[in-house]
Amino acid sequence: MTKTNAYITTAIPYVNGKPHIGNALDYLLADIWTRYQKQNGRQVRFQVGTDEHGNKIAAKARANNLDPQSYVDGMYGNFKILMGAVGAEYTDFVRTTDQHHVAAVQYIWRRLSQAGLIYKHTYEGWYCMGHEAFFTDKEVHDTSGICPDHQTPYERVSEENYYLRASAFTERIRQAIESGKMKIVPEFRKNEFLELIKNGVQDVSISRPRKNLSWGVSVPDDDTQVMYVWIDALANYITVLGYPDNPEWQTYWPADVQVIGKDILRFHAGIWPAMLLGLDLPLPKVLLVHGFVHVGGAKMSKTVGNVVDPMEIIQNYGADAFRYFFARHIPTQEDGDFTWEKFENAYNGELGNDLGNLVQRVAAMITRYQAGVIGNAPQAEHDMTGYRDAMQHLQFSQALDDVWSSVRSLNQYLERVKPWQIAKQRANDHDAEGHLNEVLAYAASTLLQIADELVPFMPTTAEAIHSIFATGIVPAQITPLFPKIYLHTSNPQAPQDTRK
């Protein structure tokens, strides 16, 4: 059987800051999907990358006394470190300063221009540098002139730009979204976007005068203009596949899933489809829009000082614990909330007690009562429909809820059946031996099934469980999974300090 190809993408972050939880969430969600597809026999390309052009980058470089290229060369590696720490098995890393990418973006510009989709126009209006985006009078009015995401006033600008005639594709874009040909997940985001384009998709500025935007891809045949970052950045999803020179891109495009944060939906559901339609390319099949991660109900912000560093979590608790928490306790398609208390409760309770102790107990009983040999018994076959359905619908948090209900059921089963009592009865009851054998074999095979379901989420843990139970002989020594860690909360089992 030949493997079918699949392609998933993540948004490419600006390299001018430290990688944050939102980036980690992109990599994690895409990686969960990737591993699940691979488990089901598909050949997956998984794109990641960095957005290295634009005024924000140039300003940061200047502040560091560097030319922009040296600055981005020194920064993009931070994102690779985070991807590696999260355990993302990406296949393709694109930098928008890559030579191939730059040439491909210029090719795309020419194609769109030849198709009559690019025109020159004077823009008068509002601009936010933090967003690298223009805003309408209404948006500026509704926010009292201050960008709510960046807490900086919008700038009034008047300049000659090239525009992309995105409005020409309004009907095709609307139709693709409504029909689900380009599915926006979740549904409420789809409705939000349809509402936004009620009066049509707007033409968008795709270049700025060089005096206002120096660091970017030059517009072909007009040296006075530089491409605006969005057209450059969005193109990465196809240039990374080799578009237009390497025909292999055709075996992966359209993307099966494009993972994005909610703040960039309008670019991905409006400008990007317009670019693709202008190039006669198919639209992505699914845009998976995740929300923001708050901290104790508040927005994460450097000023407030409540920024949670994904690397700190991964270094202290391990990648699987990070993956578990953010996949299960941050709802896949909505905003979520992080607190250290929630995190350590999940780590010590759900991972340490529910799963870690369960694995340990079952292994220890097989070692003690059966010299490590797992008997033959009917295989556990718990119903995987709920899990598969959730995975199919990109509801990863629900899929993990489903796995945890299997973990809990197995714990309850062992409490009810009490294999340690059956073991004692063996001296004077012939049937007890066979019964014990069956109970422990059932427990081991259920754990193997749980491990299979955990492969996309917690690959190291899945592998560890597999190595304990899959060969039929439980190793004499096993390393405990998720040893207790209390760095931010207190250990309820610790002796109380009674001095005072």
For Zn ion, the closer of residues 131 and 208 by Cβ is 131
- What's the token pair of residue 477? 């020594």
For Zn ion, the closer of residues 149 and 431 by Cβ is 149
For Zn ion, the closer of residues 153 and 282 by Cβ is 153
Residue with tokens 């860690």: 485
- Residue 139 CB, nearest distance to Zn ion (Å)? 10
What radius of gyration do the chain's Cα atoms show?
Answer: 27
For Zn ion, the closer of residues 126 and 243 by Cβ is 126
For Zn ion, the closer of residues 121 and 150 by Cβ is 150
- Whether 482 and 347 have beta carbons less than 8 Å apart is answered as yes
- Residue 151 CB, nearest distance to Zn ion (Å)? 8
Task: Give the phi and the psi of residue 6 in degrees, each rounded to 5.
Answer: -140, 155
For Zn ion, the closer of residues 56 and 190 by Cβ is 56
Tell me, what amino acid is at 146? I
* Spatial separation of the C-alpha atoms in residues 164 and 113, rounded to whole Å: 9
Q: How many CA atoms lie within 13 A of 500 on its CB side?
A: 3
Tell me, what amino acid is at 220? P
- Residue 152 CB, nearest distance to Zn ion (Å)? 7
For Zn ion, the closer of residues 147 and 283 by Cβ is 147
* Spatial separation of the C-alpha atoms in residues 9 and 30, rounded to whole Å: 7
For Zn ion, the closer of residues 302 and 488 by Cβ is 302
Binding-site string for Zn ion from residue 32 to residue 71, where x marks contact by CB under 5 A and - marks none? ----------------------------------------
* 242 is a site residue for Zn ion (CB under 5 A): no
Tell me, what amino acid is at 159? E
For Zn ion, the closer of residues 56 and 101 by Cβ is 56
CA pseudo-torsion sign 128, 289, 253, 91: positive
CB neighbour list of residue 59: distance below 8 Å, 6 or more residues apart: 129
Instruction: Please list every residue from 340 through 379 that binds Zn ion, using CB under 5 A.
Output: none
- Residue 135 CB, nearest distance to Zn ion (Å)? 8
For Zn ion, the closer of residues 151 and 405 by Cβ is 151
* Spatial separation of the C-alpha atoms in residues 338 and 330, rounded to whole Å: 8
- What's the token pair of residue 133? 């985006």
- Residue 102 CB, nearest distance to Zn ion (Å)? 26
Beta strands in 57-132 (DSSP E): 92-95, 118-128
- Residue 14 CB, nearest distance to Zn ion (Å)? 12
- Residue 399 CB, nearest distance to Zn ion (Å)? 34
CB neighbour list of residue 24: distance below 8 Å, 6 or more residues apart: 82, 86, 310, 322, 326
CB neighbour list of residue 94: distance below 8 Å, 6 or more residues apart: 12, 47, 48, 49, 50, 101, 236, 239, 240
Beta strands in 51-195 (DSSP E): 92-95, 118-128, 133-135, 155-164, 183-185
* Spatial separation of the C-alpha atoms in residues 30 and 27, rounded to whole Å: 5
For Zn ion, the closer of residues 95 and 131 by Cβ is 131
* Spatial separation of the C-alpha atoms in residues 474 and 369, rounded to whole Å: 12
- Residue 59 CB, nearest distance to Zn ion (Å)? 14
- Residue 150 CB, nearest distance to Zn ion (Å)? 4
Q: What is the dihedral of CA 366, 369, 370, 374, to 10 degrees?
A: -30
Instruction: Please list every residue from 102 through 141 that binds Zn ion, using CB under 5 A.
Output: 128, 130-131
Total residues interacting with Zn ion, rule: CB under 5 A: 6
- Residue 147 CB, nearest distance to Zn ion (Å)? 3
- What's the token pair of residue 208? 């700025």
- Residue 21 CB, nearest distance to Zn ion (Å)? 19
Instruction: Please list every residue from 146 through 175 that binds Zn ion, using CB under 5 A.
Output: 147, 149-150
- Residue 270 CB, nearest distance to Zn ion (Å)? 18
Task: Give me the residues paired with residue 164 across strands.
Answer: 118, 204
- Whether 308 and 315 have beta carbons less than 8 Å apart is answered as no
* Spatial separation of the C-alpha atoms in residues 265 and 262, rounded to whole Å: 5
Task: Give the phi and the psi of residue 23 in degrees, each rounded to 5.
Answer: -65, -45
For Zn ion, the closer of residues 126 and 317 by Cβ is 126
Contact residues for Zn ion, defined by CB under 5 A: 128, 130-131, 147, 149-150
